[in-house]
Chain A
Amino acid sequence: MELTLEHVDKSFKQIHAVRDVTLQLGKGVHGLLGANGSGKTTLMRLICGLIPLDKGSLHFMDINALKQYDTYASYLGYLPQHFGYYPHYSVYDFLSYMSILKNMSKEYSEQRIETLLERLNLQSHKHKKLRQLSGGMLRRVGIAQALLNEPKLLLLDEPTAGLDPKERIIFRNLIASLSQECCILLSTHIVSDVETIADDILVMKEGSILLHDTVANLLTYMQGKVWEMVLPASEAIALSDKYCIVKQHTMQDGVHLRFISDTQSYPNAKLAIPDLDDLYLYYFQDGETV
């Protein structure tokens, strides 16, 4: 069960959205991190077949997605960044409609919908019209439709946008439980979404995959670059102009700072254990201009 992208390239007029991406993703959760405009959504859409490739090839489980799209699509589950829905449909009717499009038998789809409604805590809302649902509930409906056909390749574009903390936890647990069954590519710019559940992380910038490694390995890049110290408020302002500040907290003894620097700039700065937030900020500290 492997998704393989070879030299995938896509441009929109003057914008080179995806540059020569070559990837191999197996079973498990793969976090796709990147700032807005880095090309994550375009890459997701290319993988889904929603937009055509300019160059390159796309295979999943030895299926050429460009030539055998129907077969490829039967393994696919996709939640787009902006989840579209028919407002006059009820949750159940919408999922039923999606199950027909996914060529699922009536009996199986009924059973599957009930299971997913239960898992996503939507059981009590199943007859509500979609227009009556909150943003978080809609997102859960979106996730449910993506999971309907028990996909082998699950593409989730910003899946946690609009979810409250509790819903995020439910979602993470759900994704973690699916990681042994399929290949999940989860695009986000919220680091905490993938930090705990992703087997590996892809960092995307300006249309290219900048880094692709496990969380542990990626964090080794940051070893010796993350510092913490306490400074008086007046000096803290000067520091923020020079370095990328990850955290800043004013307390009685001064301002507690966590910042990124390649060297020990201050004698009283202490090395800190890096996390993905540090990594993300290190690569995207000036947005897409770094």
Chain B
Amino acid sequence: MMRLLKSEYQKLGKRKFTVVLLIALFAYSGYQIYQTYHATAASEIMAMTYETTDHQKVANGLAYYRYADEYLHQYAGPFNEDTIQKMKEDYQKIMKKYQRKNIDTEKMERIYGKDWESFLKGAATSKYMEEDVRKRMERMNIDGYGMDDKGNYFFNVFYKEDPVYMLYQRIYTGHSQYATSHELYGENAGQISSEIVDISVNQYLPRFLKGAGAEKELFENAMHSGEITNASSRIAKKYQEELQQGQLQYDSTVGNHLLLTNLNKIDFVSLLVIIIVLSDMFAQETHYKTDQILIPTKEGAKRLVIAKLLCGMSLAIGILFLQLCMIVLAAFIFVPLRSLDLTVFPQADAGYYEMIRFIFTYREVLVSTFFLTLIAAMAIGMVTMTISYFSKNRFATAILMLVFMILSFAINFRQDGWLAYLCSLFPSHMLEVNTFYSWMNGGFSPFIIFMDMMIPWKNIVCVLWIILMIILSVIIIQRYQKHFVKSH
């Protein structure tokens, strides 16, 4: 059987198209992974190089993440009120020391012109019409800038303290922003400016640190039925108990979170490649008419079909597993992982905001991600091979599978009721792992309550697919034993 299995791999490998497709997929994955650690962060800080309090330049995205991880790691230990208080104090200290006072006039002149002050003031106080502003700033796309309800534009104001101020603002709050001309020249000028530090400390940081309390409120607002409320309440209660009992640990989650961000980047493209590669699995024998010489052999029919199924499934798993391994390897290379028993929460703008916070540990999410991703790969592989088996036509298989994929996108998660649960069964949605941990999507709950037991919906999805795959495999093997060629 091993030789037969190996020969089926070789058969796939002998097609240059398959090899090129797989290389392209892994190159695409590699690029995506690289982007997470480099380009995303780098693009945001392109206009400015961050600087640490000890005057070290943080030159690019990767350097930023590494510094943020090291910096937050200093707070590693039990997650309690003392930790929260220490962080608040440190942050306030930096914000006050590097409070924005000195405008970087050189930069302002370079961007807005020598009369930058009168221009920004005019733009913030209805002196200029929108057309005037656009004409003046024709070299820049101003659509991304803010506008108040009177149609006044407010532009970024650059301070000499920005490189340090914004670095720590981003590390502590997961969020950094330039000051705006509105704060300098708008109706409430002065008042807003003086509140900047307090806003950061009192608004963003507590929300970031308080965790479960805020999440509980969020859950309950989003709940539709009593059952779901119970599920969220139970989880929130469990978290609060753990917090009170001092069971929770704190550490930097920058590396962990970037890992989740990359895992979330595995998308339908991988499934599409599996479909294209496997659509030929049972069709090529009919296409090349080799079924006539394969069936009347000692290893023919049953063993051949088992080998093909194993080959297809292992290839599907292999493709996704290799991508997962690339992601994990990148995590070790770029920003180290901290304890996987930390509860999931984003820090230092390390992306992946959709994942519900403070409830699940990274270990739980990672195991589930691996499991869901691999089951999704197997599911798409099995469905493709089943269609390939029955249609005996690679193009028909590819087209039907594309319809299947498009259908899954047509029904998305942001549905109410049973439709949300139905679409979560599609393999392409199984890759969106955060959905199985989030209450954010309408009526979809990560848990269902059955006989007073909380059952994760993702487990039900996996079990359903495993059962379906077993059924399909048995049908194919049984039918193949009675397989006969068509009269050519």
5 contacts between A and B (CB under 8 A): A45-B292, A101-B297, A103-B298, A103-B299, A146-B293
In the assembled complex, which residues on chain A have CB atoms less than 8 Å from the CB atom of B289? 80, 82-84
* Contact with B300, one of A73, A79, A142 (Cβ below 8 angstroms): A73
Q: Given known contacts A86-B11, A88-B15, is B292 in contact with A101 (CB within 8 Å)? A: no
* B4 and A42 form a contact (CB under 8 A): no
Q: Given known contacts A50-B485, A97-B7, is B293 in contact with A87 (CB within 8 Å)? A: no
- Nearest residue, chain B, Cβ from A75: B298
Number of A positions contacting B (CB below 8 A): 36
- Nearest residue, chain A, Cβ from B482: A52
Q: How far is the CA of A106 from the CA of B294 in the complex (A)?
A: 18
Task: Return B429 CB to nearest CB of chain A, in Å.
Answer: 36
| A74 CB–B CB distance under 8 Å | yes
* A78 and B292 form a contact (CB under 8 A): yes
Q: How far is the CA of A145 from the CA of B290 in the complex (A)?
A: 12
Q: Main SS of chain B's interface residues?
A: loop
Number of B positions contacting A (CB below 8 A): 29
Q: Assuming A78-B293, A80-B292, A101-B294, what are 4 further A-B pairs, CB within 8 angstroms?
A: A73-B297, A79-B293, A93-B10, A103-B299
Q: How far is the CA of A97 from the CA of B9 in the complex (A)?
A: 11
* A101 and B299 form a contact (CB under 8 A): yes
Q: How far is the CA of A93 from the CA of B15 in the complex (A)?
A: 14
| B304 CB–A CB distance under 8 Å | yes
- Nearest residue, chain B, Cβ from A15: B487
| B488 CB–A CB distance under 8 Å | yes
Residue interface bits B457-488, CB-to-A below 8 A is 1, else 0 = 00000000000000000000000001011011
Q: How far is the CA of A45 from the CA of B289 in the complex (A)?
A: 14
* B295 and A50 form a contact (CB under 8 A): yes
| A58 CB–B CB distance under 8 Å | no
Q: Name A55-85 residues within 8 Å CB distance of B.
A: 70, 73-74, 76, 78-80, 82-85
* B487 and A101 form a contact (CB under 8 A): no
* B284 and A50 form a contact (CB under 8 A): no
* B3 and A106 form a contact (CB under 8 A): yes
Query: For chains A and B in complex, what number of residue pairs have CB atoms within 8 angstroms?
Result: 91
| B291 CB–A CB distance under 8 Å | yes
- Nearest residue, chain A, Cβ from B295: A50
* A100 and B7 form a contact (CB under 8 A): yes
| B296 CB–A CB distance under 8 Å | yes
Q: How far is the CA of A76 from the CA of B300 in the complex (A)?
A: 12
* B484 and A50 form a contact (CB under 8 A): yes
| A98 CB–B CB distance under 8 Å | yes
In the assembled complex, which residues on chain A have CB atoms less than 8 Å from the CB atom of B16? 88
Query: Which 6 pairs show the lowest CB-CB distances between chains A and B?
Result: A84-B289, A84-B290, A103-B298, A101-B297, A80-B292, A74-B298
* Contact with B14, one of A12, A89, A98, A100 (Cβ below 8 angstroms): A89
* A12 and B298 form a contact (CB under 8 A): no
In the assembled complex, which residues on chain A have CB atoms less than 8 Å from the CB atom of B293? 78-80, 83-84, 98, 142, 145-146
* A45 and B485 form a contact (CB under 8 A): yes
* A86 and B290 form a contact (CB under 8 A): yes
| A113 CB–B CB distance under 8 Å | no
Residue interface bits A118-146, CB-to-B below 8 A is 1, else 0 = 00000000000000000000000010011
| A51 CB–B CB distance under 8 Å | yes
- Nearest residue, chain B, Cβ from A49: B296
